Homo-oligomer: A and B are copies of this chain.
């Protein structure tokens, strides 16, 4: 039994982000890839939707410019033949400020011939914004929700 595409992709992605080694990940992305990283793109220009391998590699380079992955824990996982979904908790370092960022994400991935064809990532975006700002945003308690 061969290794699931997710493990190979995950290893290559982390190697790209932490070591700026982009050759492995480049070989694991389909030319027609669809990519979406949902979140506030005004604050984080590397978030948003991308189409095609070049655009996705560009995002991965921006992630490498901005973050170091200290560790990640996979809290939930589901694997299909050519698909995978997981929820993970990442411990990152923001490289500009050297600040630690702890972030929960969920992803759904589809592969074709072992290469990434579709990836959608949802992040706990409010948590990310507060940590990037380095301070809590004071929000009203919605009255009827009390």
Of B42, B78, B96, B123, which contacts A141 at CB under 8 A? B42
Interface string of A70-89 (1 = CB under 8 A from B): 00000110101001110100
A142 close to B (CB within 8 Å):
yes
Of B39, B84, B133, B140, which contacts A124 at CB under 8 A? B39
Q: How many residues of chain A are within 8 Å of chain B by beta carbon?
A: 45
Whole-angstrom distance between the alpha carbons of A67 and B46 in the complex?
A: 32
Smallest CB–CB gap between A21 and chain B, Å? 21
Could you name 16 residue pairs across A and B whose Cβ atoms are closer than 8 Å?
Answer: A38-B127, A42-B139, A44-B142, A44-B145, A45-B141, A76-B85, A76-B120, A85-B106, A85-B108, A87-B106, A96-B142, A96-B145, A106-B108, A124-B125, A126-B126, A133-B139
Residues of A within 8 A of B (CB): 38-40, 42-46, 62, 65-66, 75-76, 78, 80, 83-85, 87, 95-96, 104-106, 108, 120, 122-129, 132-133, 137, 139-146
